[in-house]
């Protein structure tokens, strides 16, 4: 197996498993949804420390930023970047609210967490770095002061996730969505909500 294959095979497997889980979670019964969520989001991080998750998120953030920098600005890439930032801000806000014992807000969506549409490309890239740094910081704070055993945080589509499951979800989501970006010269029609 080549060096490149060794890097891409786990990524392809993780992305495929996450995509299958999301598909199954939306269109199947609660038991099947829960099984897929446990297998793709919760189980892989069960024995990981929050410090380990912080390191993975930090490395992933560098890769994510590089991917968008190399792709360059386009309407589709701007849309993808705003979507990723919005989801990550939304997820970390939800974890923080639940971890502090604040009453659960209604299941708000990610749209209000997105950067403004008229933000420049440089501002969006900076927002991505700031947002991921905040997520890394959250994981480190959770390592220092772990959440209560059994704490779960509701996700609008996937149901209750542990804070570790949420951090994995945020990393996988950003990774999957960023693989859909196109270089400025390529055509690509991204359909993101």
Residues of the chain with pLDDT under 50: 187-193
> So what's the pLDDT on residue 22?
59
> So what's the pLDDT on residue 109?
85
Contact 80, 180 (CB under 8 A): yes
Angle among Cα 58, 60, 66 to the nearest 5 degrees reads: 110
The per-residue pLDDT for range 81-90, each reduced to its tens digit, is 999 999 999 9
The per-residue pLDDT for range 109-128, each reduced to its tens digit, is 899 999 999 999 999 999 99
> So what's the pLDDT on residue 191?
42
Cα 82 from Cα 157, distance rounded (Å)? 20
The CATH number corresponding to 49-178 among 1.20.120.450, 3.90.1150.10, 3.40.50.2000, 2.60.120.1440 equals: 1.20.120.450
Query: Where along the chain do its domains lie?
Result: 49-178
29 CB neighbour count, 10 Å cutoff: 9
> So what's the pLDDT on residue 4?
53
pTM over 0.75: yes
Q: Phi/psi of residue 154, each to 5°? A: -70, 140
3-state secondary structure of 36: helix
Cα 110 from Cα 86, distance rounded (Å)? 5
> So what's the pLDDT on residue 34?
77
């Amino acid at each position: 197996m080549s060096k490149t294959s060794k890097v891409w095979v786990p990524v392809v497997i993780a992305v495929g498993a996450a995509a299958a889980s999301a598909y199954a979670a939306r269109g199947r019964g609660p038991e099947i949804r829960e099984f897929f969520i446990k297998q793709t989001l919760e189980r892989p991080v069960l024995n990981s420390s929050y410090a380990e998750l912080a390191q993975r998120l930090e490395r992933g953030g560098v890769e994510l930023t590089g991917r968008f920098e190399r792709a360059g600005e386009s309407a589709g890439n701007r849309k993808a970047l705003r979507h990723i930032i919005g989801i990550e801000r939304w997820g970390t806000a939800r974890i923080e609210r639940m971890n502090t014992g604040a009453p659960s807000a209604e299941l708000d969506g990610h749209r209000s967490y997105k950067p403004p549409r008229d933000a420049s490309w440089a501002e969006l890239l900076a927002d991505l770095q700031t947002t991921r740094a905040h997520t890394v910081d959250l994981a480190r704070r959770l390592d220092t002061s772990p959440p209560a055993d059994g704490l779960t945080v509701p996700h609008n589509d996937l149901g209750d996730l542990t804070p570790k499951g949420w951090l994995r979800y945020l990393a996988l989501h950003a990774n999957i969505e960023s693989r859909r970006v196109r270089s400025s010269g390529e055509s690509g029609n991204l359909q993101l909500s």
